[in-house]
Structure 1
Amino acid sequence: MSLAPNSETSALPVGSATPKPLRSDGQEARTRLLDAALVLFADKGFAKTSTREIALAAQVNVASISYYFGDKAGLYRAVFTDPRSNPSVEPASIDHPDQSLADSLRAMLDTFTEPMKNGVAMQNCMKLHIREMLEPTGLWQAEIDDNIKPAHMALVQMLCRHLGVTQADDDVHRLAFSIVGLGMILHVGSDVIQAIRPALIGSPAAIDAYAEHMLVAALSMVEGEARHRQALSSTAALP
């Protein structure tokens, strides 16, 4: 007999509603906890959110949190890194020697646009990341070290290859940050986009169209950097 708490109906938080039926494998209980915790952690932060109210919102036994995640910190970590709303980019998908510039840039930009199709979940994920920056638990620094920095360096290396640059300089790093900024505005500025031009991100098809526009802009940035470097070289070669 399984000891997983996914099918229990006792020991629920006081005042909770009758729990919804759960899948026998426990996956639904785990998913409910992730979804409920995302909303609560995004709204209230880690310290002010209790395991009891997470279990109540998820309509599962409070013991499920320790069973699936160990403790509240483990649940918070799982929510923060949940690939459904916070996918990571594999550096190899950006810096691949046999891949075209357009395909490399598309692989990177897709990590910003695809999560947008998750709607409210993505908005809550963005709120959670901002709250983590303001009220750090250590996960944001780990995100920078483990995911953001490797992806940035892969982008820089890829740009160096296509620009014919042997050693990355400040301009290459500026270019990389500028390209990433095209995707970041979708998340940081989603409320502004909704207020001014909501149709731009109002459907999966609209988000795909936005992604293609970002790709064109990113390619133009790289082309502009190449022209800039060529102009500097020509000037330096003048007597």
Structure 2
Amino acid sequence: MSRSIRADGEATRGRILEVAGEFLASKGLADTTSKEIAERAGVNMASINYHFGSRGGLYKAVLAEAHRRLIDRDDLDRLFASNLPAHRKLHGLIGFLVDGGAGAARWPIMVLGRELLSPSPHLASLQQEEIFPKLRIILPVLHEISTIPADDPVLWRCLPCVVAPCIMTVLLSRAKPGLDQVSGPMSRDDLIDHLCRYAIGGLEAIGRAHGNET
């Protein structure tokens, strides 16, 4: 297969993903049809089946792409393999989440939000292929800050407590009227600093409480 044909195929696949993400974010899985995705993307139904196998395969690919745009595995690997202290790595992680959620395309975070609120059979695949591998990269840094053992279930419960406030703050900031109308405007760097202090304070408090209980 020539390079130009491969490039055309990748462009078509990317266009289908983008259109599908927009429809799924606005209408949800149950109310989105392959036909309307194909029409908007300027392809036929056979093209969707060629690139994704089925409607379910397309949705699975959209979920994975949405999660990668929110937080990319390669970015995590580079950050957490660095010699930065734990609190700076956490700061970098929160920066990824804020930037990923505030990207020009709104559909990734909306699609993920819909899936978490109304899980489909594809959530298990997303967890195994995208979510859990990334959480395992993050876990040692939370251990270092909290001093809770890495294999302790308490530390796993800390993960959503770090991630969820970042995503919710970004979502509320993008709403109309936005959060900034109540809290006042905040720059990207100030927001990341704020969320990082919040996360570190919580991790240290849970660590102290856990130490007193054991």
Q: Please indicate, yes or no, whether the TM-score normalized by the shorter chain is above 0.5.
A: yes
Distance 1:170 1:44 in 2: 36
Distance 1:67 1:93 in 2: 34
User: Do the aligned partners of 1:96 and 1:104 also contact (CA within 8 Å) in 2?
Assistant: no
* 2:28 alignment partner in structure 1: 45
User: Do the aligned partners of 1:45 and 1:131 also contact (CA within 8 Å) in 2?
Assistant: yes
Question: Is the alpha carbon distance of 1:194 and 1:201 closer, same or farther for their aligned partners in structure 2, counting shifts above 3 Å?
Answer: farther
Aligned-residue identity in percent: 24
Deviation of the 1:138 alpha carbon: 1.6
Q: 1:103 aligns with which of 59, 67, 88?
A: 88
User: Do the aligned partners of 1:157 and 1:168 also contact (CA within 8 Å) in 2?
Assistant: no
User: How many aligned positions are there?
Assistant: 211
Question: Is the alpha carbon distance of 1:169 and 1:80 closer, same or farther for their aligned partners in structure 2, counting shifts above 3 Å?
Answer: closer
Distance 1:225 1:61 in 2: 53
Corresponding letter in the other structure for 1:53: E
What SS does structure 1 have at the residue aligned with 2:8?
coil
Q: 1:116 aligns with which of 95, 98, 101?
A: 101
Structure 2 unmatched runs, 5+: none
Q: 1:63 aligns with which of 38, 46, 50?
A: 46
Question: Do structure 1's residue 184 and structure 2's residue 150 form an aligned pair?
Answer: no
Question: Is the alpha carbon distance of 1:136 and 1:228 closer, same or farther for their aligned partners in structure 2, counting shifts above 3 Å?
Answer: closer
User: Do the aligned partners of 2:86 and 2:144 also contact (CA within 8 Å) in 1?
Assistant: no
Distance 1:108 1:193 in 2: 27
Deviation of the 1:93 alpha carbon: 5.6
Q: 1:144 aligns with which of 119, 127, 137?
A: 127
* 2:188 alignment partner in structure 1: 207
Question: Is the alpha carbon distance of 1:96 and 1:200 closer, same or farther for their aligned partners in structure 2, counting shifts above 3 Å?
Answer: farther
Distance 1:167 1:43 in 2: 38
What SS does structure 2 have at the residue aligned with 1:25?
helix
What SS does structure 2 have at the residue aligned with 1:82?
helix
Q: Which range moves more in the overlay, 23-32 or 136-145?
A: 23-32
Alignment root-mean-square deviation, CA: 4.0
Deviation of the 1:168 alpha carbon: 5.0
Question: Do structure 1's residue 216 and structure 2's residue 197 form an aligned pair?
Answer: yes
* 1:35 alignment partner in structure 2: 18
User: Do the aligned partners of 1:52 and 1:62 also contact (CA within 8 Å) in 2?
Assistant: yes
Which fold has the larger relative contact order, with Cα–Cα distance below 8 Å and residues 6 or more apart in sequence? 2
Corresponding letter in the other structure for 1:214: L
What SS does structure 2 have at the residue aligned with 1:28?
helix
Corresponding letter in the other structure for 2:191: Y
TM-score, length-scaled by structure 2: 0.72
- Greater helix percent: which structure? 2
Q: 2:60 aligns with which of 52, 56, 77?
A: 77
Deviation of the 1:74 alpha carbon: 2.1
* 1:19 alignment partner in structure 2: none
Structure 1 unmatched runs, 5+: 7-22
What SS does structure 1 have at the residue aligned with 2:48?
helix
Q: Which range moves more in the overlay, 110-119 or 146-155?
A: 146-155
What whole-Å deviation, never above 9, does each CA across 1:8-63 have from its counterpart, x for those lacking one?
Answer: xxxxxxxxxxxxxxx97233322221121112122333343222211211123443
Deviation of the 1:94 alpha carbon: 7.0
User: Do the aligned partners of 2:21 and 2:62 also contact (CA within 8 Å) in 1?
Assistant: yes
TM-score, length-scaled by structure 1: 0.66
Deviation of the 1:167 alpha carbon: 6.1
Distance 2:181 2:55 in 1: 36
Distance 1:159 1:181 in 2: 15
Deviation of the 1:98 alpha carbon: 4.4
